Amino acid sequence: MALLPYTATTLRNFINRAEALWFIVFDSSLSGRLITIGGNEYRQLPTRFNTRAKIFAFFRRYFGPSLSRILLCNLRTLRYRGALYVPVGDPGPVPDRVVSLAVIRRTSSRIAVRAVLSGDPSGNVTILYTFAVIRGRLAIINRTRRQVDYRYQPCR
């Protein structure tokens, strides 16, 4: 089989867009209705993201099913009177922009990439990504340093 044909520039742009997805969903609530439950404030998500299935499908554009579930879980959504809400607050900075990228390994089914991302308060962070083609589309199926990034932490 032939190697996957994606260039370093394509992968860099893909990672930049993928790292922004969680914030696209979270920040879409900024103009939404505000509610307070148990002393915690929540903002309503717009119609575009008014179900967990829609958000999951949005994440699946760039991530495999496992990482998509983790990203969705870490939004901490709340269903209230038929509407979907997310907690109010500044989630804090995380590494999200590719500064440099190197393809480590390329096979007919996977691509392993080492990327240095900026945006973390402690400086640039090196992250290893594994890509695969799922249902005819490129997707991130693994990412290192998940424990220190609140978007990728294991859910309970």
Q: Give the pLDDT confidence of 86-114 residue by residue, as tens digits.
A: 999 988 899 989 999 999 999 988 999 99
Parallel, antiparallel or unpaired: strands 97-106 and 78-80 = unpaired
- Which residue(s) pair with 13 in the sheet? none
What is the pLDDT, as a whole number, of residue 2? 63
Q: How far apart are CA 32 and CA 28, in angstroms?
A: 8
Q: For residues 148 and 38, which has the higher predicted lDDT (pLDDT)?
A: 38
Q: Is the pLDDT of residue 64 over 60?
A: yes
Q: Average pLDDT over the chain, rounded to whole?
A: 93
User: Which domains does the chain show, CATH number per domain?
Assistant: 8-143 (3.10.450.420)
Burial 74-92 (b: 16+ CB within 10 A, else e): bbebeeeeebbbbeeeebe
Residue 24 CA from chain centroid, whole number: 9
Parallel, antiparallel or unpaired: strands 137-143 and 97-106 = unpaired
Q: Is the pLDDT of residue 1 over 60?
A: no
